[in-house]
Amino acid sequence: MVLFPPAKVNLGLHVLGKRDDGYHALESIFLPLGWTDILEVLKDDSVAPGELRTVWTGLDIPGDTNNNLVVKAHRLLAAKHTLPGLSAHLHKVLPMGAGLGGGSADGTYMLRAINDVCSLVLSREELMILAAELGSDCPFFVDAQPALVTGRGENVSPLSFEFPLDGLWIVVANPGIHISTAQAFGGLTPHDRNTDWAALASEPASAWSDRIQNDFEAGACKRHPQVAALLDALGQAGASYVQMTGSGSTVFGVFEEETTARQAAAEVQANYCGPLAGMG
């Protein structure tokens, strides 16, 4: 089975007060992108039952691969179910530590793949619970559809309003900087607010900055001028709305015309390091 775990961007990312469990409460609209890793999962008779053989290609994955969410997803299911020997091949395209949710997508899609390959017949609700055990962003990728995400990321609600994405183009730019979650939260001052997320659907993208923002953005721009430079470059190239996604360092611009978006992508790619992707 071959799956394509997608990147996501956060449209707004509001960090509210701390919860009783020590996590910060978050609010954000998550949007999946057509920019993906590639994950293949197969039964493998040469691997002992309950064990996993892994192959990693594409971008280098730093750190101990035993801590990779693909491996953790297998470990989580192997502890609860009798699994055959499996092999997994992850071809990494999405940059890491970039706020795109690539690792979370990989882990959640591994849950989905094992569920199908091994005929576990896990329900969506069961997959959501397992994904929440993997990480805060993971439950979104069970469906990978536009959603309002709250709590620490475990509450994923399909949008209750029609969001006009069909007429918009998103240009995504990554400056090649890894920002850890701990670094992103350092110096952040959360504050509660009430956001009318549905109002975004009836407003032009140029007005979104009056209503939403990414609370991690100011700190990231201060520590990493490249992030601020990319935001400015996309704005100068004609984006109606620009924002950093997640805890950084990837930024994106929302464009209302395809030609302008493609020109902006070419200009930014020619002048800044890091991979780029455009999505209609």
| Residues involved in catalysis | 8, 137
**Do 71 and 64 contact (CB within 8 A), yes or no?**
no
**How far apart (Å, rounded) are the C-alpha atoms in residues 50 and 85?**
5
**How far apart (Å, rounded) are the C-alpha atoms in residues 27 and 16?**
8
Token pair 């005929």 is found at 119
Token pair 């020997």 is found at 85
Closest CA to 52 of 75, 69, 35, 32: 75
**How far apart (Å, rounded) are the C-alpha atoms in residues 264 and 243?**
15
Q: Per the structure block, which two tokens stand in for 80?
A: 């609860």
Token pair 């850890």 is found at 180
Q: Per the structure block, which two tokens stand in for 3?
A: 């799956």
